[in-house]
Each structure stands twice: as structure tokens, then as C-alpha cells.
Amino acid sequence: MKQIILAAHFPGVNNHTVWSDPASGSQIDFASFAHLARTAERGKFDFFFLADGQRLREQRGRIHDLDVVGRPDSLTVLSGLAAVTGHLGLAGTINATFNEPYELARKLATLDHLSGGRAGWNVVTSSDAFTGENFRRGGFLEHAQRYERAEEFVRTVNELWDSWAAEDLVADPSAGTFARREAGEFAHRGTQFDIGGHFTVPRSPQGRPLTIQAGDSEGGRAFAAATADAVFSRHSKLQDGQAFYRDVKSRLAAHGRSPDSLKILPGATFALGDTDAEAQENADHIRRQQVSPQTAILLLEQLWNRDLSAYDPEGPLPEIDPDVSDDSIIKGRTRMYRDPLKTAAEWRALAESKKLGIRDLIIEVTGRQSFIGSPSRVAEEIDEFVQGDASDGFILVPHLTPGGLDDFVDRVVPLLQERGVFRADYETTTLRGHLGLESER
Amino acid sequence: MSAVPLHLAVALDGAGWHPAAWRDPAASPKALFTAAYWAALVAEAEHGLLDFVTIEDSLALQTTRLDGHDGRTDQVRGRLDAVLVASRIAPLTGRIGLVPTATTTHTEPFHVASSIATLDYVSSGRAGWRAQISGRRTEAAHFGRREVPELRLEDLADIDESPLVRELFGDAADAVEAVRRLWDSWEDDAVIRDVATGRFVDRDKLHYVDFEGERFTVKGPSIVPRPPQGQPLVTALAHARLPYEFAARGADVVYVTPHDTERARAIVAEVREIEGEVRAPDAGELKIFADLVVFLGENGDEARERKARLDGLDGAAYTSDAAIFTGTPGELADLLLEWRAAGLEGFRLRPAVLPTDLNAITRGLVPELRARGAFRRAYEADTLRGHLGLPRPVSRYAGSRR
């Protein structure tokens, strides 16, 4: 039986995170991060995960104000978390477009040293000039260049990490040798980066911190198969997941890699209750919290690509069709609908047949929880999903900061442990170790 | 009893500031890249009730050359990222300020603003930033974004006249200004969580910073809400008029390097004059600290012998931009008070050997200063700005629309 990998995603800056609940705490105080990380470690999770965004989102030219806004610098907060946890992996999303390999390799190797081998990064690229406005480097990438940059970025970072062999740090006072002469030497000549010199961080405990990849396109899958240790996927439905899993794993042999060397981890949400019925009630309640009347209009605008602020959230869908021009009203996140006219037709049909107003329709068609049920049902479904080769585990996204994982850890984890598919205690000290991946020493 | 206590900071770097410090019997050279090593040092500094520690950093390996790799194997080479070291230590300490180095030349100002603001959250208001230029060609070659000529002695001989150095400080001033605007870009009460209107933030209290410098622009607002201190402490090391101007414009604390009391008085006068010319009226007074490398001992001979032994191991007499003090904690206390009378408000001591000279500061110098009525007996504030008597500034954007 496969052992399940579990990661805890700090609730993000989107409407999935419920801020209106009395139990909702600060999105930025360190205590919130420490609470979730300690909870995850209590539950023997593999790692803690932070998303990223380098510009506040905007919709219709104004800063988006309906969702949680504001986040820390990922690696800085992860380094703080290394002080309050002892085994939990610490992974953050890093945008390869707005960072430089030398600086980022230093930071990740530093985090790996300071956490005793628990660092990981989820490499993403962005091609939007909107976010680029916050950066000296400015500009952006042609869409087609995204994976070219990401691939070369990862390769360069690996070269930097490899520039210190473990034995390069001698630190022998009697011999008078601190470091070997060749320590840190590197030269990378490529189309994206042309750099050379000496790297300043000695080889870290994992050698190479864990590399995660999150793209779903053909380019993203190829990139993951070539270079990543894990994929943060979006396929949290069984059949979708199985197809994705087969596809990505089948690409590994071409790179001389075994199927086990790349872990597939969909993002997943959950709602628990003492009984399945109670869990469903909780799930419905959470969905209404996630989709306020204002948020319903806003999410509808994301498909319609139009100002719909005059519409009644409890009223019918607009009769006007979505604007399918290239100019998106949303800035700072990807457009989510490939064929807006087709999706709109589906939504209209659904609203018609179920007699749904805008808000109820949005609740119906967006963001239903991946797992809803009693602890035993959720444990069973998670196990089936993993044993059915739809994933190797999950990156769980609670809807509440900071206590959204408490119930899962207290009630579902023990059942997974009873099933013998999740560790009863940590058996290794590094993130690679937890995932059963070889250390790259 | 002296009227105004002086401020004390310690500059942490590797095994200490002497290049052979790692070969001292008290050193832990194999531990330099572990969290436990740094945690123990900062805990010791906090035990001495020091105002803050600084953590050195650079984007190239240490070298004895002005610009270029020296290939030496007998000195400490390699450093961890200073901001992450500070953040790793923050949850383990409660009062001491944490001031990592981050460069203004290559590091994106937006990232500096986010990471120092985050450090301020992780430490509950104890973050600072030592803003440092990186003008070396070796550093630029690690980024490959711009061609930089080799830094030559002529550039440093009269840095006020070197076009390269002027450009570097121009960039540095722009970076500090952009970072400070980003720290103000969220008003303190921007998060409203108003269920009736469905709004989490009041977007009128989030501000574009629209910084436009000669070589870069930054739009804003910050991704991080306003840090607990409002404005984390900005500090800079300076040796000449141009960097004094840079510090007087943008910093809260400047570290200067007099070698005697006369020079201390002259530097203070020069910095104050420049401050009068360039500092914004609402920026508050610039704090002037002097840097000193310290070898401390039970008696002066012991301290001098320690230095001589390390000099012998390194094959050269240790020199520094800062004055090098060898003597007893009592003698150092007398010197610091004499220099304070010349107008200095604090000192950033660079321990020659860690932890030996750090322990001598916290367990020897601090009691000597207290006996002279010149150092605190308990922390009186919770934040780094508070330790220095600096108020929490209101956001520059407060009350403005966008």
C-alpha cells in the first residue's frame, strides 16, 4: 500500500479563505503561521506550503477588496517557522520571473541549513507586465518563454547548489583550511542567464531542496517530468486525477527517472462533520461564507469579463453575453475560463433547471469541497484516491486561518494511521526523507 | 550617573571579525552554518540587553582583494542569507532588535520591503535593515544584468568623486525611498473585515507608491500589510561625505568609523551639518553610532596577545576600516563614554572572536557601563524603534486618497 503524503497549505488570498467567520484570525501575524505549522507537525504532515503573489490583485482597475488581502514574504516566514517546528517540511512558492537564480539559490540553501534539511520551493513563472510593475527588472516574459526561463532557472539554481561539494567545507583549524579552493565555483552560460563566479552557501543538508512544480499545460508537465520532485496539481477528482497521474508518470522514463521519483499532489479542500449529513450542512455553510453576495457578482464578472455591479446577487443571470475580447478585467491572476460563451450557456441552463439566482448558482458551480463527510468517510476517500493512483497525496487547503486544519489532524489523521497508510511518527528529519526521495548529497 | 544611557549593538559575522577567528580554540568553525550557532550568539546578546545585533552579508565570497576572488583557503568563506538568519532567530528571542544586511544594488527593493516587513511581523516589531551597496564586479557577475567595471582603489580613494560610486549611492537612495514608501503603503487600519459590505480591506487605505527613480520604478502597494513598527529601522555604514548624505537622507542610524576622539568629534560635526542640509524635517534625528572592532581581556596584555596570536595565524597584522580596540572591558567603557562626549549616541561593536568577545561585551562591558550609569538594567520597550527612543511613525499616506 502506498503511504499518503500530506501537506498543509496556508489559506490563500482568494475567496476560498473565509474571513467573516468569528474563528477567523489574522492573515499576517506570525502566530497564525506558527499555529498552522504546529498543527501540521502534530499531524505528522510532510510539509507546510505557502502560495505567492507579488502584486495585489485588481478587478476592473481597482484593488480587489472582497477577499483576504496581504501576505508575508514566503521564505522569511518559513525561516521563522523553522524555529517553531522540528520535522515539518517548509515549502514556498517562488516566481522565477521576478527573482534571480543566484539570490534565490542562496535563500533556499540558507533555509535548508537553518531548518536542518526541510526546505522546498514551488517554482512558478509569470508573464504579466502587471506584476512586473513592482520590479526593477520590470518587464515580463513572452508566454512561450515562461517554461524556457523556468527550466533554465531551475537548472541554474541546481548548478549553484552543486557548486559546493559536501567536502568543500573543511573547517579544520589544525590544518588551517576552512574551505577548499574550488568551493562555490560556477559558470552558467545560457540564453536566460549568463552568470559566473562563486556561490556563498556551503552544501545544505538536502543538497538540493525539494523542487515542486505547479503548471498544468503541456509545457508544465514536460518541465515537471524533467526536473521536479513533486507536482502541485489541480486534479482533485478521481478520474481527472488518474489521467493526469498516468500522463505525468509515463513521461519520467524518458528522463531516466523512476515513477516514484516524482510525487503528484493535488490541492484539496474538505468539510467534516460527525455524520455525513452534518458534514454536508457544514460544507453548505462554508460555501455560503465563501460566496458573499458581493463575491458572487465578482466571480460572475470573472466569466463574463464585464462590469456586473448593477446586477442583483439574488436575481437571474445577465441576458447579455460574456465579453470574449482579449482584454481581461482581472489583473494579477490567470483567466480561468477557456470558452466563456460555452460555460455561460451551461450556467444559464443550470440556473434555469434548478431555479437558481446568481449567488446560489455561483455557490453551485465554483469551488465545491473535494472531500465532504464524517472523518471515516473522508479518510476512506483520501485513501482510495491515493491507492487508486489518482495522486500520491494531497496539499490540503483549509478555509480558516489559523485553526482550519485542527479537526482534520485530530479526527482524520488517526484514521489514516490506523489504516497503515500514513506515518504514526516521523522517521526521517528531512523533507526529501519524508517523501521517500533520495537526498542529493 | 550619566544622564543619557548609550546604545549598544553587536555586529555578527562568521566566526568573528578577525580573519583567523575561526582558528581560535573558542570558535566553532563547523557550526557557522547552523541555526543553533546563530541562536546562541543572539541569545547572549539579548542576555546583555543590547539594543540590536546586525548580521553581515554580501553577494560574493569574502575576499582580501578589493574586487575579485582571492582563492584563499585559510579564512572563513561562505555566508548564509542574513535576512533568513534573522528570521530564524526571531521566534527564539523576545526583545533584541534584529538588523540583517540586504543590498541595494542587485536585490529588488520590492523584495527587501517584503522581507524586512515580514521579519518585523515574525519578531513582533524588532526588525531593521542594514542597507549596503554591492559595487563589486564579482557581485554583478552573479546577476549578469549589467556590466560593471572592476572596483578600483581610485574609486575608494575619493569616493565622493567616483562616478561609479555616485551611481551606486544614487541607486541605494532610490531603493531606501522605494522600500520606505512600500512600508507606508498600507495604512494601519486598512483591514476592516466589514461583513455588511463584504469588504476585507478598505481599498482607499491601500496606496500605490509610484516610485520613479533613474534606473527603476516600483508601483506598489506592498503585498505585506504595514509592519508592526510602521517603519523598521534603516541603518547604514558610512565613511565619507557621499554615504553620510545617503544616511542623512534615508537612514535612522548611521555607523561611522572614527579612530580617535578628535576624529569622532569631526565626523559627528560633518554628519550633523549634512543632516541639516538634506534630511527631511519630519524624519527625526539621525542616530550616530561608531563602529569598533574589539579584542577584550582580563588585562590589556591578554587582549593584545590574543590579537597577536591570531595575526600570526593569518600571516598579517589585522587592519580594519573601524578602530581596533584591545584592552579590558573597563577601559573600553571609559573610551565609549569619552567618545559619547564627542557626540556619538551609540556603538556597534564588532567582536574579533565569537563567542569570546561577545561574551566579554555582555558580561564585562555591560556591567562596567552600568556601574557608570550609562546602560540599561532592563529593556524598557518591546520594539527596536522603542529601544532607540524612536516613535512609531504615521504612514505618509494616511488620510490621502491613493
B201-232: pLDDT as tens digits: 999 999 999 999 988 999 999 999 999 999 99
Chain CA centroid to CA B79, Å: 16
B49-71: pLDDT as tens digits: 999 999 999 999 999 998 889 99
Contact indicator for B171, B383 with CB cutoff of 8 Å: no
Distance to chain A for B144, nearest Cα, Å: 5
Choose among B33, B143, B220: nearest Cβ to A202: B33
Q: How far apart are CA A308 and CA A358, in angstroms?
A: 11
Q: Which residue of B has its CA nearest to A31?
A: B122
Distance to chain B for A227, nearest Cα, Å: 23
Evaluate whether ipTM surpasses 0.90: yes
Choose among B74, B79, B118: nearest Cβ to A73: B118
Choose among A28, A98, A111: nearest Cβ to B225: A28
pTM: 0.97
- Asked if B196 is an interface residue toward chain A (Cβ–Cβ < 8 A), one would say no
B349-392: pLDDT as tens digits: 999 999 999 999 999 999 999 999 999 999 999 999 999 999 99
Cell numbers representing residue A127 in the block: 508573464
Radius of gyration of chain B (CA): 21
What's the pLDDT band for B152 if we cut at 50, 70, 90? confident
Enumerate the β-bridge partners of residue A95: A124
- Asked if B209 is an interface residue toward chain A (Cβ–Cβ < 8 A), one would say no
Cell numbers representing residue A179 in the block: 574551505
What's the pLDDT band for B1 if we cut at 50, 70, 90? very low
A35-62: pLDDT as tens digits: 999 999 999 999 999 999 999 999 878 9
Taking an 8 Å cut-off on Cβ atoms, the answer to whether A135 and B106 are in contact is no
What's the pLDDT band for A331 if we cut at 50, 70, 90? confident
Q: Give residue A216's pLDDT.
A: 84
Contacts of B229 by beta carbon, 8 Å cutoff, 6+ apart = B120, B125, B127, B383, B384, B385, B392
Contacts of B187 by beta carbon, 8 Å cutoff, 6+ apart = B205, B206, B207, B226, B395, B397, B398
DSSP per-residue string spanning A244-270: HHHHHHHTSGGGT--GGGSEEEEEE-E
A217 pLDDT higher than 90: no
Q: Which residues of A touch B215 (CB under 8 A)?
A: 136
